[in-house]
Structure 1
Amino acid sequence: LSGYDCDSDPCQNGGVCRIFEGGGYVCDCPPETTGVNCDIDIINECDSNPCMHPEATCQNKIGDYICYCPPRHVGKNCEIFDRSAPGGIGRAIRPQQDFSSYHARDLEKQRQQCLRNNCPSKRGNIRCDEECNTYACDFDGNDCSLGINPWVNCTAPTKCWEVFMDGTCNEDCNNPQCLFDGRDCEKNLQACNPIYDEYCQKHYANGYCDNWCNNAEC
């Protein structure tokens, strides 16, 4: 209690001030605070690990938290990958696809080609249609991979299937679950033996081990 009344707005963080019958005032504090003036935080919002990137840092606030994101990540929880982001305080934003970018335009062209190849009607026909076995064509309904989506275990913040084999190393995708970014991160990789190249491409991830294809080049 204090000898002052509520005219000075003593209650902080959303607390409601009431005149105390015996003189002074009392603050009715919100659930996450305590103290005479509701100035003590009793809940650490960072305990739930809200920041989604492993390199992000969480700072507790009364009734809230702040994620400090590493470069190339934005969003309230650093959950959005953005190549141009410098990092810093994470703020809630709505991700927007940049249709002016090369990859977005190229993906749209591939999807139009899928329609021309009549891929939607071929999807899931238990037959591998090579012209439809791409990300843009939904991998022919997984007909070419024994019904397994090759990206099902890829949890990188980058959409690795959109930058797969684009000639640029995307470290987020350079792992077995994301198919090593299509080998974009390897340097001076020799070409696959031309005798096996076409065969290995057609039989990639078909559930069988072909020894002549079991190397980095192929």
Structure 2
Amino acid sequence: MLVKMQKDRVYTCPIAGTRKRGKDFKEDKLLAEDLLSDEKEKAEHVMLVDLARNDMGKVCKIGSIKLSEFMEVKNYSHVMHLVSTVEGERDEKKNAFDILSSILPAGTLSGAPKIRAMEIIEELENEKRGLYGGAVGYFGFDGNMDMCIAIRMMVVKNRKAYIQSGAGIVADSVPENEYEETQNKAKALIKILGGDIG
């Protein structure tokens, strides 16, 4: 989940910190322990939680923002992530569109400080991101909203499939590890197409 609004409650889930999934429960447990003890991954996650709290502060009532979940390991098909949940009470002057605008682009895909990070991305990235990093979801007639971030997806055009993946870069990043993270994230989609990364 990128951002959700139910009645007057707003939720966002910063996700940062990744390991590949293990071959069995025991290996998953070891990888999760490694993830939770990795100072670089924890620092990146805390930075993104702070950014999410800041983004939520623009659209929620003062004093209502809280962390209902912090740095929990969640398992997905090919990777595990550190996940937190930030929630708050919607400022009555703000609607679902304001809330989505305050969250996008997600800190996990932009970095911090957000505006400067986006300027650097614009300068350095050769390819436009397109749908990657955007939002997919719904706005309900009841005013509710639920959006997910478009990162584990492919675009198929003219019989070609396009897959994008990324990794968070911070001062302590090891380029080879970040590259491996992008490969692990893309594996599920490549497997669907009958391919393999190795």
TM-score range, shorter chain: under 0.3
Structure-1-length-normalised TM-score: 0.26
Q: Which one scores higher on RCO, CA 8 angstroms, separation ≥ 6? A: 2
Q: Radius of gyration: which is bigger? A: 1
Greater strand fraction, Structure 1 or Structure 2? 2
Greater helix fraction, Structure 1 or Structure 2? 2
